[in-house]
Amino acid sequence: MATKGPIEDPMIDPMIDPRTGEYAVIAPGHTFKSVTQEIAGIVLTSNTPLGWFFGLVVAAGVAMGLVIGCTWLFLKGVGIWGVTIPGAWGFAIINFVWWIGIGHAGTLISAILLLFKQQWRNSINRFAEAMTIFAVCCAGIFPLIHVGRPWLAYWLFPYPNTMNVWPQFRSPLAWDVFAVSTYASISVIFWYMGMIPDFGTLRDRAKMPLAKYFYGLLALGWRGSTRHWIRYESASLLLAGLSTPLVLSVHTVISFDFAVAALAGWHTTIFPPYFVAGAIYSGFAMVITLAIPIRKFYHLEDLVTLRHLDNMAKVMLGTGLIVGYGYAMEVFMSWYSASHWEFFMMWNRMFGPMGWAYWMLILTNLAIPLTTLWSRKLRVNVTYLFILSFIINTGMWFERFVIVVTSLYREYLPSSWGTYRATKWDYMIYFGTLGFFTFLFFLFIRFLPMIPMSEIRMMLPQTKVTPRSKIAEVVSEEES
Amino acid sequence: MPPREGIYGLLAEFNTPGELVHATKEAHRVGYRRMECYTPYPVEEAAQALHFHKTRVPLVCLIGGILGVTTAFLMETWINVWAYPLNIAGRPLFSWPAFIIPAYEWTILFSGFSACFGMLALNGLPQPYHPLFNAANFRNGATTDKFFLCLEAMDPMFSPTETRAFLEQFSAVSVVEVDH
């Protein structure tokens, strides 16, 4: 993905590699010690920045929306939401798909880019994985509270019970349970395994007894033994290889929730690839939303460089084009299928009472990003990318809204047409999950190493093993 | 269980991975076998110098995956055909194409767990106590920026004086004795 842009003057910006004209992945001049200190220092410092407390409190306040909303929901039932017949699926499923999609970029970065040996991913890998897990936490809430009696949600799992009732495995909703629970478990395992060597570092560098004890427990006695490292690397590669088909399957299974139904607008074979591409699109936007303030606040511009932002913007451009192709194909097929209902659905989606949502989606998901991301200047413009990441995630939310609502509210029989209007509880719970996500993320950046130290060390030039004969030369050169 | 008394081994500290790999190669050539390198990131050349090539992690993972796919598929078949047969729009009870999806997910779930926990088990982790943690310079550097070679006392060639002399001929920062 290396496009060589014009180099204004490489002498001015030390971050630009003069050989390639690309921004460096790590700022030059770092040593094993300096990267370790820079990353571990954020966690092990005894004076937490005030801004962190402020952010945590604000996020916790917003997350209260989730607590209050869910409490009222459990007392009253799903009738407090805007879901009715025919719009039986509303915000809950929209938010579920949106959040799961956001998580996908984390797995893509940690697994697929690892298999492709994209070393630049190392700096953003850890917090992208954390984002995945927190996004899956938020996503998982929605189907559980949508079942109506969430205290019986464990019925979704196949377990021996006295009622002798078992799940029905021909239903995409049962597949969802397996896909999402596997996704959450494997993401947690991959994330934790990746942190074990870093916990070792934190254990050894911690000064406070409590931190020593806490990170010592989490490190499981890691000591960097070479035999351990080889098995560890082998397990990481295997997990990456397993996560790759997993991440593609999860959104595929979620798209089956729609595609298997015989409803115009849902019953289409393009859903799996287009859901996955959309998921990665919105996920990368979320990584950018998180990475830009973090690198600024913690002065990590050395490790999360403009190269990372540039590359992520390119991935968004690529996946955005796939999403655009998906939209185009939906419109084309509604005409080419010669199905009256398909045609009406698309007309209603574009020009019906909720047509504004469709055009909002086209504007925020296609028109703005796909025209501007071609420019390298804008791809490395931090402010622009930050704003754009919000625009894209709004667009992706509208995509799910359009798919769920506009297909449902005017289906085959005009006599059963209705509308959909979200209530304040819908909004409260949705914004509550945004707060909850941010809250978890604040805890993560304070207490866990947000950039994988061992992987960053591997990217430094010092890692090269020089043959014995050359060591003497290097030493003598340095001395002279 | 190795005896919990006396010395565990001699620990040499190096500044660069190149020096570590060289010393390890030499130690292997001379005939030391019970030894281990400790590095802050994976150094493949060190594993080659130790003649450690094969891991059984992929095998454990494969077994986990096979177990996952058979468990899920047999469970679904048993549930939907015998335990709780339901007529869903006249579809056959044994709808194996639909059963593939949960079976696929459990393949990944089981093999992923096997890869991670298998790796930990083969590594003997969790292991909160290890004699090396007694060495102050080890705790200071092994997980940050230093490279260590430990020749263990269990090795038949080990001798506190000769092994130390052997290690000191390399450009080690220090050679320290590690107690159990």
Number of domains comprising chain A:
1
Query: Which of A175, A223, A230 comes nearest B132 by C-beta?
Result: A223
The dihedrals phi and psi of A302, each to the nearest 5 degrees, come to -70, -35
Interface pTM, i.e. ipTM: 0.92
Residue A162 belongs to a domain: yes
Q: Which residue is closest to B126 within chain A, CA to CA?
A: A220
Find the CATH number of the domain harbouring A338: 1.20.1630.10
DSSP calls for A342-383: HHHHHHHHHHSTTHHHHHHHIIIIIIHHHHHTT-HHHHT-HH
Q: In what order do the strands lie in the sheet with B174-179?
A: B35-38, B147-152, B7-14, B174-179
pLDDT digits (tens, 9 = 90+) for A108-137: 888 888 888 887 888 888 888 999 999 999
Average pLDDT over residues A396-405: 92
Residue A174 belongs to a domain: yes
In the prediction, which pLDDT does A285 show? 92
What is the separation, in whole angstroms, between the first and last Cα of chain A?
40
Which of B11, B36, B41 to substitute to test the interface with A, most A CBs within 10 Å? B41
- Domain membership of residue A107 as a residue range: 32-479
Residue A6 belongs to a domain: no
Interface list for A 398-457 with B (CB within 8 A): 454-455, 457
pLDDT digits (tens, 9 = 90+) for A159-183: 998 988 999 998 888 999 999 999 9
Residue A39 belongs to a domain: yes
Q: How confident is the model at residue A360 (pLDDT cuts 50, 70, 90)?
A: very high
H or E segment at B77? helix B57-77
Q: Which residue is closest to A170 within chain B, CA to CA?
A: B98
The first and second tokens of residue A225, run together, are 């033994």
The first and second tokens of residue B97, run together, are 């194409």
Q: How confident is the model at residue A4 (pLDDT cuts 50, 70, 90)?
A: very low
Using a CB–CB cutoff of 8 Å, tell me whether A472 touches chain B: no
Residue type, A454: S
Query: Which of A166, A181, A245 comes nearest B79 by C-beta?
Result: A166
Q: How confident is the model at residue A467 (pLDDT cuts 50, 70, 90)?
A: low
**Is A228 close to B55, i.e. CB distance below 8 A?**
no
Residue A21 belongs to a domain: no
Average pLDDT over residues A280-303: 88
Q: How confident is the model at residue B67 (pLDDT cuts 50, 70, 90)?
A: very high
Q: Which residue is closest to B105 within chain A, CA to CA?
A: A179
Is residue B38 classed as helix, strand or coil in its secondary structure? strand
Residue A5 belongs to a domain: no
pLDDT digits (tens, 9 = 90+) for A243-290: 989 988 998 999 999 998 888 888 888 899 988 999 999 999 999 999
